[in-house]
Chains A and B, each alone.
Chain A
Amino acid sequence: MESTSVKQIIDECKKKTRIQYTNKGGFFSPKLKSINHLEVGYSKIISNPLTIFLERLYVVYKNLRNWFNSVKERWFPRNPEIVGTVKDAYLTGVISFKEKSDVRTPIVHMKVVFWARTKLFQWRKLAEGYTDHEGVFNLPFDLRAAVKWANRKNLIFEVEEIDSIYFDKNKVGHHNYSVFHKQTFPKSDLIGMGYNLREIQLDYWNYRTDTIIPRTLLKFDNGDTIQSYTQGRKDALIEQIIPIELTKLKHLLLIKEDSDKISHASIQADYPINLTQCIEKELPGYTRGDEWFGERMMNGMNCGAFMQDPENPDVYMIKYFGLCNYDHNHEFALPDVTIYFNFNNKGIPIPFKIKTVGALNAINKDQWQQREFTPADGEMLWLAVKRLARSVGNVCTEVDEHFVGTHLNVEQYAIATFRNFKHSPLSILLMPHMREVSLINEGADKLIIKGFLPEGTALNAKGLVKRAKDLLGMFDWKSWRPMKSISEDHRYAQAENIFFEVVENYVNTFFEQNLKGIISHWDEVYRFSQDLVNHSVPVFLSDVDLDALPTNERNQALERLAYYKFQYGFDETVTREKRNNQLKVVSPITHKTSISAEDTEDINNLKRACKYAIMQATFMHTWINEHQYDDLGEVLYSCGGLRFGDKESGVLVPESDLSIAPNLTVTTQQLWFANFLSRTEYGFITKNEDGDVNPIFTELLESKRADFDKIGVSIDDIESRTNI
C-alpha cells in the first residue's frame, strides 16, 4: 500500500479514536463520589436509583450550601482595609514546619492575617503581614479596635497560603490566597503590648518521612489541608470517567458471577476503540508489522531513546531493563530487552534483532539466560518477541519515564516550590505547573503502585518503590537536554525540541521581566535549592558497592547506568553534594542566600532548573500520558505483562493463545486505566481552564502552532501541569 494512504488511514484513526465526552448526566445518571474513591477494583460508584436520588438530594444540599456560602461572602466580605488608628499592641509567634527534629525549620514569608468579627458577623481586619526569615511574625494592631465591645468574643488568626495564580489584563501574575490554618483566642487575652501565639507547627508541604523518595505529606491530624483539585478538574474527571467506570464494574461483576459470558474480546469490545484497533480494521496486520513497531517505539507512548550502536553507526538500540533483581511475582515475564533498528527511507526505525535476558517461560527461570531473535526466526516468533518487547517497554515507560520521570520527579520540584516561593516572582512562574501533582501522585500510590502494577505486571509494590528510588537517581536538571531528533520521522524529538524552545523563551522572558524581584528574594531560591538537594535520592548506584555484586548483576547495573545516562541526559561528572554520606542526585542551584545581577552562574542555574521543571511537568508528561490509550488500548496487542503460561514456549506464542495474555480482570483494569489516564480532558495550556497559565507562555506556544501541526502534534493537547 502507498505510504500516503497508510498515513491518511493512521491520521483518520487518530481523529476517530480521540474521545469526546458529551454526556452531561441526567437526574438518574450514575455518579462517582470523588477522585479519591477511584479504585482499580470496585470504585465507589453509585448506580442504585434510590441511592442516586439520595445522592441528588445531597447535591441539592451541596448547591444550597455553596449558595449560602456565596451569600455569606457577599454579605460578610473580608474587608481588606485594616481597622484602627494606633498600633499599640502586637501579635507575635513563630511558624515552622512540623517535624520531629529538635530545631524545626521555619516557614518563611508565610502570609498571616489577624481578624475580628463583629457581633453582626462582619469581618474586621486588624493586621496582616508575613513571617520573617526565622518564621517569626509580628503584627502590630490597634488594641482598642481588637477588644472593642462590638467584636465577638474570639479573635481569629489565620495563616494563608498561595492557592493559585491569576493574570491581569496586563499579563501580570498575582496570587490568590486561601486559608491554610486558622486558630482563635479570646479577645480578653489581649492586655496590650505583645501577645504570643508561640510556635505554630504546620504540616505545610512537609516531606513524608516514611520513604526516601521526596514525597508530600498530605494527611494531617489537625484538619489542615494543602491544595485541592480545582472544581473544574474534579467535574471534568468525574464526567469523563463515568462511562468507562461503569464498563469496568460490569466486567468485574460478570467475572465474579458468570465468567463464561465474558471474554477478552467482549471486554475489548466494551471499551472505546483505540488507535491500533482502528488501523487494524483498515490495514489488517499493519500494527503488528515492523514499521508500526518502530514508529510507535519512536513516536508513541514509549518515545524511546535510540542509542547509536558504538560498533555500527547505522544501527540504533533501545534498551528496556526488566526485573533487575527488584522484588517481583512469578506470573509475568519481564526480561531485559534490547531492540536493534535500522532506519528505512521514510526515517522510520525498523527492528531487525531483539535480544532478551531473562526467563521467557515458567520452566526455565534462569534470570541471566540470553536469547536473540530476528525476523529469520519466522513470522510467528518474530511477532511474539515484538509483542514481548512492547510489553516490557510498556512497564519501563510507565514506571521509569512516566511515573518516576514526570510524576515523582516533578513532585520534588513542587514541594520545594510550594514550601519556599512566597515573595519571589518564581511563584508566578512555577506554581501553575507544579499544582496538583502531589495530589495525583498520592492517588497513584494506591491506584498504580499498590493497585494495577502489582496485579498486571511482574513487579510488586516493594520492587516498584525500590525501582522508583533507583530511577529517580538519574533525574537532574543540570545536564538535561531535549532528545536529539535522529530522523525526519522522529516527530517526538522534534516536538520536544520545539516545545523546549518555547519554554526557554518563556522562562528567559519571565526572568528579563522579573529579575529584580527574583534577585531581591534570592533567599527563597537558596532554600528551594537546599530543599531539592537535601531531599533528593542518591545518584543511581552511588550507594551500591558494585564490586560486591555478582558479575551478572554488576554488568547489568553498569549497562543500566550507561543507558540511563544517555536516556535521561544525566552527567555523572557534574559536581554533586553529599548529605548524610549520600551523593544527592539533584544539583544545587545556588549556595548563596543573596546575589547581584552579576552572579550569572547562579541565575543561569535557576533558569535551567525552572525550564527543566516546567518541561517535565508539561510536555514530557503529556506525551506519555496522552498516548497511553493509543498503545495500551488493545490488550492483545500490548499489555503490562505477558504471563508465562505453562508451556515450554512460554510467552513466545501467538496472540491467539490467551493463556499468556493478562487474565480477564487485569484486561478490563488495563483498558480502564489506559482510558482513565489518557483521556482526562482538563488542564491544557491553550484552554487555560483555571486561568493560571501565563499569557506570554500561551502566546509563545501559539506562535509555534504551525510547526507543531507540521509534525502532527496539536498544541491544544499539551497539558499545563502533571495532573493525572
Chain B
Amino acid sequence: MSEFYPAHKNKLVAIFDKIILWHTAKFFGFLIAAFLSFPKRNRMSHDNGIAGLGNLKIVDNPEFPEHDFFKAGRTFPIRVRHATATYLDDAVNGIRSISLKFSQHHFKSPFDIEMNTGATTLFWSAKSFLMFAKTRKEKYAVCYVDYIKKYPQGATGAIGAMRRNPSSFTNLKYYGKTPFLFKGTDGIQRYAKYRVVPEKEQLETGLQLNPCDYELPNQRVAPHEKNGRNYLKYEWEDRVKKGHAKYKLQIQLVTASHDEDPEIFNNMFPWDERIYPWMDVADFEITETLDWKESTISTFSVNNMPESLGIIPAKSIYDYNSLNYMRAHSEIARKARLLSLKIFGMVPPIPNNDNRNNEEWGK
C-alpha cells in the first residue's frame, strides 16, 4: 500500500493516469496563461483584493512536532493578501480569502499558503475542479447552477465557504483545506492542514444561515444592499491603521500510514478536531496596507514551500491531492500575469460605483 492516495492496481492504467494528470495540469496552466492571465491580466479568480505587510512569529512553545522551518520563536516579515473570489464587489455572497507569504516580497518567499473561508470547498480533485470550471456559466453574479445541482458536495462546499456581507476580513476563519506534507525533525511523515483564525476568538460573520440549495449559485449583491464594492478593503485599511489586524496561523497533523483511508486527503472531509486538534503555529499582525498596484502584483504559490512541507504527490486526476498538483503546475499563469502587467500596465482599481452584480471590471 502507498502512504499516499493509491495508484490504480493496473500498472499500465496507473502510468496512463499519471500522464493524463501531468498533461491536464500543464494544459490547464497553459490555457489560463494564454487566455486569461496574459491577455486580460487577471488572476484565475481572486482579482478583488488588498495586500498588507506585517510580521509573524512562530509560537514560543509549539505543541506540534519540532520542525526546522517552524522553529519556536522564529520571526518572519510577511505579506498578506485578502480577497473576494470571482467578483469585483465585496458585497456579493462570495468566498473570502487570505494568502500568506513568509516574506514581504511580492513573488519570492520560503513559504506561501493560500486559504479560503469555510472548512470545505466546492471541489476536491483536478477532475472535479475542471468540471467546476467547465460548468461555470456566469450571468449577473449567478454562477455554477449546473455544478451545484449535479454535485452534492458542490452545494455543501458552497454553503460552507461563501460569506455574505461579513463585517471584516479579520473575523473570518480561513482554511487551507488540502493537506500538505509535514516531515519534522523526528523524520516521521505527517500530513498537515493549515488555517488562519482571528487572534482572539470571535463570532464569525457572514455565515449562511438556513441556505436554500437552489439559491446557492446566486451570489448577487442583496437587494437594497448598503455596502459598497470595496467596503471590506476599506474596513481592513482602517483596521490595520488602528493595529487591529491580528491573526493566528494554526496547523492540524495526521501521521501518515500505509493503510490510510484515501479519504484522509479529501478536502471535503475536515479532519476531526477532537482527534486531530488545531495547534498554534504562529501569531502575526499586519502593520501597513499596500496600494492597489502592490496588491495586484502580490502572488502566492504552493511551490513556495520547503520540501518537507510541500505538496503531496498525486497519482491521477481523481486523486484528492491532484488539486495541489495542478496548482503547482500552473506557475506559468502566475508568471504570465506579472509579465502582462509589466508590458501592458496595471489594471485599474475597482471603482466604488454602482456597477454591481457584474463580473466585468467596470468603469
Contacts and interface: CB of A to CB of B under 8 A. Distances in A.
A196 B150 contact: yes
Interface stretch (B46-54, B110-118, B124-132, B180-188): B124-132
Contacts of A648: none
Contact of B127 (A92, A192, A195): A192
A92 B149 CA distance: 11
A468 to B, nearest CB: 43
Nearest to A198: B149
Nearest to B157: A193
A196 B318 contact: no
Given A143-B318, A189-B131, A194 B149 contact: no
Given A143-B318, A144-B8, A144-B318, A191 B151 contact: yes
B153 interface: yes
B218 to A, nearest CB: 18
B318 A92 contact: no
A703 B358 CA distance: 82
A88 interface: yes
A653 B149 CA distance: 75
Interface of A: 85, 88, 92, 143-144, 189, 191-196, 198
A193 B152 contact: yes
B268 interface: yes
Contact of A195 (B9, B124, B150, B268): B150
B211 interface: no
Nearest to B155: A196
A196 B213 CA distance: 12
Contacts of B39: none
A194 B130 CA distance: 16
A472 B266 CA distance: 59
B151 A193 contact: yes
List 3 A-B pairs, minimum CB-CB distance, nearest first: A194-B152, A191-B128, A191-B127
A92 B266 CA distance: 19
Contacts of B152: 92, 193-194, 196
Given A88-B262, A92-B152, A144-B318, A193 B124 contact: yes
Contact of A193 (B8, B149, B153, B262): B153
Given A143-B318, A144-B8, A144-B318, A191 B131 contact: yes
A192 B152 CA distance: 11
| Residue of A85, A92, A189, A191 with most chain B CB atoms under a 10 A cut-off | A191
B126 to A, nearest CB: 9
Contacts of A88: 262-263
Given A143-B318, A189-B131, 6 more contacts: A88-B262, A191-B130, A192-B124, A193-B124, A193-B128, A194-B153
A192 B318 contact: yes
B14 to A, nearest CB: 11
Interface residues of B, number: 19
A191 B125 contact: yes
| Residue of B8, B124, B149, B152 with most chain A CB atoms under a 10 A cut-off | B152
Contacts of A192: 124-125, 127-128, 318
Nearest to B123: A191
A568 B263 CA distance: 64
Nearest to B156: A194
Nearest to A89: B318
A549 B131 CA distance: 70
B264 to A, nearest CB: 13
Contact of A196 (B123, B130, B149, B266): B149
A193 B318 CA distance: 10
Contacts of B128: 191-193
Nearest to B316: A144
Contacts of B150: 189, 195-196, 198
| Residue of B124, B151, B263 with most chain A CB atoms under a 10 A cut-off | B151
Contacts of B263: 88
Contacts of A85: 9
23 contacts: A85-B9, A88-B262, A92-B152, A144-B8, A189-B131, A189-B150, A191-B123, A191-B125, A191-B128, A191-B130, A191-B131, A191-B151, A191-B318, A192-B127, A193-B124, A193-B151, A194-B151, A194-B152, A196-B150, A196-B151, A196-B152, A198-B149, A198-B150
Nearest to A92: B152
A88 B316 CA distance: 14
A195 B262 contact: no
Interface string B1-22: 0000000110000000000000
A194 B157 CA distance: 12
Nearest to A197: B150
Contacts of B262: 88
Interface string B233-271: 000000000000000000000000000001100101000
A543 to B, nearest CB: 40
B307 to A, nearest CB: 28
Nearest to A90: B152
Contacts of A144: 8, 318
Nearest to A85: B9
A195 B155 CA distance: 11
| Residue of A143, A144, A195 with most chain B CB atoms under a 10 A cut-off | A144
Interface in B262-284: 262-263, 266, 268
A92 B213 CA distance: 15
A88 B261 CA distance: 11
B11 to A, nearest CB: 14
Interface in B129-165: 130-131, 149-153
Nearest to A147: B318
B350 to A, nearest CB: 33
A189 B128 CA distance: 9
Contacts of A143: 318
A193 B127 contact: no
Contacts of A195: 150-151
B50 to A, nearest CB: 33
B131 A193 contact: no
A191 B323 CA distance: 13
Contacts of A198: 149-150
B298 to A, nearest CB: 31
B359 to A, nearest CB: 24
A581 B341 CA distance: 74
A26 to B, nearest CB: 58
Contacts of B268: 193
A179 B40 CA distance: 52
Contacts of B123: 191
A189 B124 CA distance: 15
A256 B235 CA distance: 94
Contacts of B127: 191-192
A642 B266 CA distance: 81
Contacts of B318: 143-144, 191-192
Contacts of A189: 131, 150
A679 B123 CA distance: 65
A196 B148 CA distance: 9
Contacts of B266: 193
Contacts of B153: 193-194
A191 B9 CA distance: 19
A415 B9 CA distance: 49
B4 to A, nearest CB: 15
Contacts of B9: 85
A492 to B, nearest CB: 61
A96 to B, nearest CB: 16
A652 to B, nearest CB: 72
Nearest to B9: A85
A153 to B, nearest CB: 16
A192 B150 CA distance: 12
Contacts of B125: 191-192
A194 B120 CA distance: 15
A154 to B, nearest CB: 15
Nearest to A88: B262
A85 B6 CA distance: 13
A465 to B, nearest CB: 41
Contacts of B8: 144
B222 to A, nearest CB: 25
B99 to A, nearest CB: 26
